[in-house]
C-alpha cells in the first residue's frame, strides 16, 4: 500500500499473497509512479530486503525500516549486525555501519 504521509490517503494498493508476482515485482509495480523523484518509503521487516533497498536507492527512493537478518544481508553485514547487539542500559553509544551499497545498519 502506498499512502500519503499526512492524511493516510491510499494512492496505490496491491494485495500480496505470496503467489503470482514476486515480492520485488509487487513493490516496484506499486512504486513505479514515484521512482526517480526523491521520495522516502517506510517498510516493515516483511517487505524490506537489502537488494530492494539498494535498487530503490539507485532509483532515488530512500528506504527506512527494520530488516530481518535472513533478508539479503551479506555475510559481512550479518557479522557486523551481530556485533551491534548490546545489553540494555549498558551506557554504550549508538552503533552503526554502512555497507558499500549505501545501506545503513543501526543499533540503538
Q: Are residues 50 and 82 in the same domain?
A: no
Contact in structure between 40 and 64 (CB atoms under 8 Å): yes
Domain count along the chain:
2
Q: Which of 63-67, 76-80, 83-87, 100-104 has the lowest mean pLDDT?
A: 83-87
Q: Are residues 61 and 94 in the same domain?
A: no
pLDDT value at position 91?
Answer: 58
| Number of other residues whose CB lies within 10 A of the CB of residue 12 | 13
Q: Are residues 6 and 51 in the same domain?
A: yes
Q: What is the mean pLDDT of residues 69-95?
A: 64
Q: Are residues 66 and 85 in the same domain?
A: no
Task: Return the higher-pLDDT residue of 2 and 104.
Answer: 2
Nearest CA among 76, 71, 82 for reference residue 98: 76
- Kindly report, residue by residue over 36-66, the tens digit of the pLDDT: 999 988 888 777 788 888 889 899 998 888 7
Pairing type for strands 10-12 and 2-3 reads antiparallel
> What is the rounded CA–CA span in Å between residue 16 and residue 46?
11
Domain of residue 108 covers 73-108
Nearest CA among 55, 54, 106, 47 for reference residue 81: 106
pLDDT value at position 86?
Answer: 55
Amino acid at each position: 500500500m502506498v499512502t500519503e504521509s499526512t492524511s493516510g490517503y491510499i494512492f496505490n494498493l496491491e494485495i500480496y499473497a505470496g503467489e503470482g508476482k514476486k515480492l520485488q515485482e509487487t513493490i516496484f509495480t506499486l512504486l513505479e509512479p514515484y521512482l526517480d523523484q526523491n521520495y522516502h518509503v517506510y517498510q516493515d521487516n516483511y517487505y524490506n530486503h537489502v537488494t530492494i533497498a539498494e535498487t530503490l536507492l539507485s532509483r532515488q527512493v530512500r528506504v527506512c525500516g527494520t530488516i530481518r537478518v535472513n533478508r539479503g544481508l551479506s555475510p559481512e553485514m550479518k557479522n557486523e549486525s551481530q556485533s551491534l547487539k548490546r545489553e540494555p542500559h549498558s551506557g554504550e553509544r549508538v552503533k552503526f555501519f554502512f555497507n558499500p551499497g549505501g545501506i545503513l545498519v543501526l543499533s540503538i
